[in-house]
Amino acid sequence: MKNALNWFEIPTTDFDRAKDFYQAVFQAEMETLEMPEFDQVMAFFPSDQQEGVGGSIVKSPDATPSQTGSIIYLNGGDDLAQPLARVEAAGGKIAIPKTALGPHGFFATFTDTEGNLVGFHSPN
């Protein structure tokens, strides 16, 4: 097994607000896929699924944003300070600022516009 994780979904209540938030934080467009047969809509984070893990934001009857449970750590690039600096301007709130993990890089957590607790990780 190359990766323990191969897909993730971050739940939303206001899909357009969440999409705008993550596009602003990552400064990237997210492709939308509507699946009316499941009463679901998704927008995909940029990824190379051949080499890594993919994921999306999702709005569906089964998706409920949460501050508890598993935390997904998104790729903060070379330095997570850059996307983290865009979190509050996009409507989120920083929970734990950039924090050193010794030889394992850095992490930070934030609450997105939907109320999910999400993290960033980066080498620098």
Instruction: Report the CATH number that the domain containing residue 14 is assigned in CATH.
Output: 3.10.180.10
pLDDT at 47: 86
Residue-wise pLDDT tens digits, 59-72: 999 999 999 999 99
Please indicate, yes or no, if residue 1 is contained in any of the structural domains.
Answer: no
Query: Is residue 67 a contact partner of residue 20, using CB atoms and an 8 Å limit?
Result: no
Q: Provide mean pLDDT across the span 75-94.
A: 97
* Domain annotation covers residue 2: no
Is residue 47 in a domain?
Answer: yes
Q: How far is 112 from 74, CA to CA, in rounded Å?
A: 12
Percent of the chain clearing pLDDT 70 (strictly above) = 98
pLDDT, residue 1, reads: 65
What pTM was computed for the model? Answer: 0.93
- Output the pLDDT for position 49: 65
Q: pLDDT value at position 75?
A: 94
Residue 22 backbone dihedrals phi, psi, to 5 degrees: -70, -30
Q: Is residue 89 part of a domain?
A: yes
